[in-house]
Structure 1
Amino acid sequence: MAQTTTSIKISASPEKVWQLIGGFDSLPDWLPFIPKSEASEGGRVRRLDNLDGDAIVERLEVFNDKECYYTYSIMKAPFPVTDYLSTIHVMEGTDGESSLVEWSGSFTPVGVSDDEAIDLFHGIYKDGLEALHQAFLD
C-alpha cells in the first residue's frame, strides 16, 4: 500500500476553514477542478464531476465535526488504484491564529508503480490545498 500526505498553512481560523471545507458535498466551493458534486444516501455519498467530465464516486467513512476532519473512500474513479482511503483535517496553527490543513491518502496502485500513484495523488492534494489557500486570499 502506498501513501502520501501534504499540508498547507492558511491565515484563517480553523473554524473559518472548516466552515468552507467541512461539508462532504462542498468541494465545488473551493476546489476549481471539481465543478460539480451531487450528494446521495443522506449525504454519505458524493458524485463528483471533474473538468474532463469523469465521474468520481466517494463515500464518507468518518466525520468528526468537533476535531474538524473527515475520511472518505473511493467507490468509482478513473484512477489506477484500489483500497483508497483519504482524510482532510483542519488543525490550529502553531501561532494560534492560523490553520494547518492536512490532506492524506493511502491506496493500492493497479497497473502503475507506487511512485506514479503517489505522484498523482500528491499532486491532487497539493493543487487542492493551494486552491483552498487562494480562497482565503480573495
Structure 2
Amino acid sequence: MATTAATIDLPVPAHQVWQLIGGFDALPDWLPYIPESELGEGGRVRSLTNDEGGVIVERLEKFDNDARTYTYSILQAPFPITGYRSTLAVHAVSEAQSRVDWSGTFTPAGASEEEAVTLFHGIYTEGLAALKDTLGA
C-alpha cells in the first residue's frame, strides 16, 4: 500500500477554512479542476466531474465537524489505484492561523507505486495551493 500527504499553513482561522472546505459537496468552491459535484445517497456519496469531463465517485466514510476532518474513499475514478482512502483535516495553529493536511493511502494498479504517489501528491499539493488562492491567503 502506498501513501502520500501534503500540508499547507494558512494565515486564516481554522473555522473559516473549514467553513469553505468542510462540506462534502464543497470541492467546486475551492478546487478549480473539480467544477461539478453532485451528492447522492443522503449526502454520503459525491459524483465529481473534473475539468476534462472525467467522473470520480467518492463515499464519505467518516465526518467530524468538531475536529474539522473527514475521510472518504474512491468508488470509481480514472486513476491507476484501488483501495483509496483519503483524509482532509483543518487544524488551528493559533486564533488567526491554520494548517490543512490532505493525505491518502491506496494500492497502485496499472502504474508503479512511484507513479501513483506522484499523481496523488500532485493533486494534494496543487489542491492546497488552489485553496490558498481561493482564500486570498
TM-score bucket (shorter structure): over 0.9
Per-residue deviation, residues 67-125 of structure 1 (Å, max 9, x unmatched): 000000000000000000000000012x4420100000000000111110000000000
What one-letter code is carried by the residue in structure 1 that aligns with 2:55?
A
Structure 1 Cα separation of the partners of residues 32 and 82 of structure 2: 25
One-letter code aligned to 1:21: I
Query: Which whole-Å CA distance do the structure 2 matches of 1:104 and 1:96 have between them?
Result: 24
> Retained in 2: the 8 A contact 1:3–1:107?
yes
Give the Cα–Cα distance (whole angstroms) in 2 for the partners of residues 101 and 72 of structure 1.
Answer: 16
CA distance in 2, matches of 1:26, 1:79: 21
- 2:118 corresponds in structure 1 to 119
* Count of aligned pairs: 137
Aligned residue in 1 for 2:18: 18
User: In the alignment, which residue of structure 2 is the partner of 1:28?
Assistant: 28
Runs of 4+ in 1 over 4 A off after TM superposition: none
CA RMSD of aligned residues (A): 0.9
> If the length of structure 2 is used for normalisation, what is the TM-score?
0.98
Q: In the alignment, is the contact (CA less than 8 A) between 1:5 and 1:105 conserved in 2? A: yes
Cα distance in 1 between the residues matched to 2:29 and 2:96: 23
Contact 1:11 1:98 (8 Å CA) reproduced: yes
Tell me, in whole angstroms, the C-alpha distance in 1 between the residues paired with 2:2 and 2:9: 25
SS of aligned partner of 2:115:
helix
In structure 2, what is the equivalent of residue 104 of structure 1? 103
Q: Percent identity?
A: 55
Q: Which residue of 2 aligns with 1:137?
A: 136
Structure-2 residue corresponding to 1:47: 47
C-alpha distance in 2 between matches for 1:135 and 1:111: 34
Aligned-partner Cα distance in 1 for 2:60–2:110: 26
2:90 matched residue in structure 1: 90
